[in-house]
Amino acid sequence: MAQLLSTVQGSGILGPTGPTGATGPTGPAGATGPAGATGVGATGPTGATGPTGSTGPTGASGATGITGPTGPTGPSGNSITGPTGATGPTGPTGATGPTGPTGATGPTGTAGYLTGEISMWATATAPSGYLLCNGTAVSRTTYSALFAVISTTFGTGDGSTTFNLPDFRDRMPIGAGTTYSANSSGGSNDAVIPSHNHSASVTDPGHFHTTTFANVNDFNNGPANYKGGEGNGDDKSGDFTIDTNSKTTGISVSVGATGVSVTNANLPPYRGIYFIIKT
C-alpha cells in the first residue's frame, strides 16, 4: 500500500478514495498450525450456583443395544414334591357336541328263516318269498336257491328245467328217519274193515269126579262098577273112595262173520291248514 501511494504521489495529486469493491471469494483455508501449549491458569473461585433451569424436552430414544450373553444357569431349587392337593369339584358337563355323520348301511341280514324251511300258513296265497306246498313243478333257475337245498327230493319235475315242491294237500307230516324217508307217503283218510271170521277151538280131554264115603258099615249093595265098591257081598266098614267114569263136556264153539266191507272214517280230530316253503 505504501508503495502504491508513493507511486501515485509521484504521478500527480492524489484523488479521493473510490468506493470499496465487493468482497472477493473466500480463499482456501490455510494449513492448521501446530497446537500451542495449553496454559494452565489458576482455578478461580467457584461462583454461586445459579437457579435451576427448566427441564428441557425429552430427547429421542436411543437405539436398542445389543443383547448381552446369557448368564449362567442358577442352582436348582428344592426338588421335594409337595403333597397332592385335594381334588377340586367336578366342573359342569359341557354342551353335547354335534351329531357325527351317519355310517354306511350294513349288509342286509336274513329274516330269520332258512331256504327250504316249511311253515304253516292261514290262506291259500303264499306270502312274498314263499311257495305253497302243493306239489307244483317250478323252475330250477328261478328258484335256484331252493333247488340247491331240496333238489328233486319231492319230484323231478320235467327232468331238466323244473322240480317239484313238497305236496301237503290233505296230508299230515311225519318225521323221516328209520321207518319213513323224506317224501315217503302212505295211509288213507278211510279205514277199510273187511268182513272176516275168527277161528276158535275147545280142548276137552275128558275127566272124572272122585267121591269119598265116610263111616260106611255095610257096602254089600255098592255098585260093582264103582272103584272101591264091594260088589261081591263081603261085609266091610269104614271110609270108601270111588271115582266116576271119564266123561267130556260136549261144548262146541261157533264163530260168525264180523266187520264190514265198506270204508269207515277213522281220523283223529283235525283242523285244515296250508303249508308253505321258503324259497
Highest-scoring range by mean pLDDT, 29-33, 99-103, 142-146, 176-180: 142-146
- What are φ and ψ of residue 146, in 5° steps? -70, -40
To the nearest 10°, report the CA torsion of 103, 108, 112, 116: -170
Per the DSSP assignment, residues forming a β-bridge with 238 are: 216
pLDDT tens digits for range 53-110 = 787 787 787 787 788 788 888 777 666 777 888 888 988 998 998 998 998 887 766 5
Supply the pLDDT for residue 140.
97
Model confidence at 193, pLDDT cuts 50, 70, 90, reads low
Question: Mapping DSSP to helix (H, G, I), strand (E, B) and coil, where does residue 3 land?
Answer: helix
CB atoms within 10 A of CB 50: 6
pLDDT tens digits for range 246-263 = 777 777 777 766 666 556
pTM of the model: 0.41
pLDDT tens digits for range 116-162 = 999 999 999 999 999 999 999 999 999 999 999 999 999 999 999 99
